[in-house]
A and B are shown apart, each in its own frame.
Chain A
Amino acid sequence: MSGVPKLEITGLGKTFGSGRSATVALRDINLTLGDNEFVSLVGTSGCGKSTILSIVAGLQDYDDGKVLVDGMPVEGPGLDRGVVFQSYTLLPWLTARQNVEFALKAAGHKKRDCRDLADEHLKLVNLTSFADSYPSQLSGGMKQRVAIARALSYRPKMLLMDEPFGALDALTRHQMQELLTRIWEEHRLTVLFVTHDVEEAVYISDRIVVMGMSPGYIKQSFDVDLPRPRHQRMIGSDEFVAVQRGVMAAIRGESEPA
């Protein structure tokens, strides 16, 4: 970590509903992401990890605490934070290239630059030959690659990814993890990555934050000291497995009596 933290969450609390039906989703969340740090949030479903991401994205409001990006409080969504959703959010009436251009235009890029920038980013995710395809012509993995290209295209300060590979089959998921790792290692960016796949988290992250639930809180944080660039063959290594076991134990700790 160097300099001012990219993302600083302190004492974050969130309650859904009000009165008797109120449920506390998050309590006293403290989380800091350094510049260019890749951090994964893991935990069982319902622990509020997606809620945190949604709050950082500015798509949901919160009740207590502070959320700062580059020292500035988050007030609604903005172009400084790119989001990749779990569902493929490609607009079906636009081709892959037009989908990226859509974001670039929204970000205020000049029309004539949009095409080049879009092509450049489609190339980054190896989809140059599918630039003119509609989403209905793309596989799930391809759609998510376009979504990543789109989120990167307008150069956000940080990338927020909400179980982006959760809907993909195992094989495609591995390819996507490799691709994302390669892109990240080449270009570096602050990433907050939500997943329930521990292996995935260990493979791609610098740090893994394990969450517990009812209400959602941060249990433990693991530094992943595996060297970069990462390779799929590291997955079986002792070091890898050790981190994986530690994270798993921390998640499981939930159900064991305290």
Chain B
Amino acid sequence: MPDLNRRRARRWNLFQIGAELDRKLRVIIGISVFLVLGLIWWGTTATGLVQPLFLPAPGVVWQRMLALALDGTLWQDSIISFYRIAIGFTLASAMAIPVGILIGSFRVWEAALEPLVDFVRYMPVVAFVPLTILWSGTGDWQKFLIIWIGTFFQEVLMVMDNVKRVPADYIGLGRTLGLPERRILWRIVLPSALPGIWDTLRISIGWAWTWLVLAELVAATSGLGYRITVSQRFFQTQTIIGYILLLGIFGLITDQVMKAMEKLLFRYLSVSR
């Protein structure tokens, strides 16, 4: 009887709000969803339900990607896109973090900059594409600029929020220890907000990819987005889908790497008793 009870309690737990899930089961569920979607994809193409021009079979996409990998195209496209993300995102973040900290810590800076940032944030990034081409051509700097416009303003607001979440008593503590404001900022506010800032970076790097591909779609002579545009011209749907999936995989990997690093960097938050 007790065994039976336990099992029943467990099954019920799966659909209880906030219930814990066993790590193994979690991985299995995650993979199953991908498998099911893949099966549906395979099924619709194998039965001829959808024309290959609109949706090529998984095998065709795979072969195409393999061929592109072998002749080096795939690597060239990926490397150039990665390079652009690295520079563009680093520039945006390196500027957004200090500005966000200032706005989050000092009401004067908040009054001066927050309305402006909010204002620009609502401007569609897409609309800046023609302008940026006009300003900086179709080279790498235009890509950096688009990534910057797309992520900087969002990051500023999110970092501001991270900083505002620093408990007021931490700052009070710094004051009672006689620390000057500058040192409170460095020694207390920054380290305290750092886990949140890291999360902000993790979330905004996803947007950076979106804006990069957009910029490459519109005007570029290299990169993943560029390859997608070229493929459209030649009705190579398999390349388009392959590249879109690849972008998804890159995103997934980046996210997982950053999460793993988060655990490492902020180990002090998760060490258990």
Residues in A120-158 with C-beta less than 8 Å from chain B: 134-139, 154
B272 touches A (CB below 8 Å): yes
Q: Mark interface residues in B178-193 (1 if CB within 8 Å of A CB, else 0).
A: 1100000001100110
**Which A residue sits closest to B177, measured CB to CB?**
A106
Could you say which interface size class chain B belongs to?
A: 20 to 34
Quick one: CB contact mask for A57-75 with B, threshold 8 Å, 1 for yes? Answer: 1110000000000000000
Cβ of B219 to closest chain A Cβ, rounded Å? 45
In the complex, are the beta carbons of B167 and A58 less than 8 A apart?
no
CB of B11 closer than 8 Å to a CB of A:
no
A59 near B270 (CB under 8 angstroms)? no
- Given A59-B172, A107-B177, A137-B273 in contact, is the A92-B167 Cβ separation under 8 Å? no
**Most central of B172, B194, B266 by chain A CB within 10 Å:** B172
Our count of residue pairs bridging A and B at CB distance below 8 angstroms stands at 70
| A45 within 8 Å of B (CB atoms) | no
Whether B270 contacts A89 by the Cβ 8 Å rule is no
**Contact (Cβ within 8 A) A79 B177:** yes
- Does A91 sit at the interface, judged by CB under 8 A? yes
**Known: A85-B173, A89-B170, A93-B191. Is A77-B178 also a contact (CB below 8 A)?**
yes
Nearest A residue (CB) for B192 = A91
Q: Is the CB of A136 within 8 A of B268?
A: yes
Pair B172/A91 contact, Cβ less than 8 Å: no
Complex CA gap A78/B177 in Å reads 6
**Is B271 an interface position by the 8 A CB rule?**
yes
A interface: dominant SS: loop
Residue of B nearest to A88 (CB): B169
The answer to whether the Cβ of B175 comes within 8 Å of any Cβ in the partner chain is yes
B175 with A93: CB separation less than 8 A: no
B53 contacts chain A at the CB level, 8 A cutoff = no
What chain B residues lie within 8 Å of A89 (beta carbons)? Answer: 167, 169-170, 172-173
How far is it, in angstroms, between the C-alpha of A107 and the C-alpha of B170 when the chains are bound?
16
The chain A residues found within 8 Å of chain B, CB to CB, are 57-59, 76-79, 81-83, 85, 87, 89, 91-94, 102-103, 106-107, 134-139, 154
Residues of B participating in the A interface, judged by any CB pair closer than 8 Å: 167, 169-170, 172-179, 187-188, 191-192, 194, 266, 268-273
A-B residue pairs in contact (CB < 8 Å), sample of 28? A57-B172, A59-B172, A59-B175, A77-B175, A78-B176, A79-B177, A81-B176, A82-B176, A83-B176, A87-B167, A87-B169, A89-B169, A91-B170, A91-B191, A91-B192, A92-B268, A92-B269, A93-B192, A102-B177, A102-B187, A106-B174, A106-B177, A107-B177, A136-B270, A136-B272, A138-B273, A139-B273, A154-B177
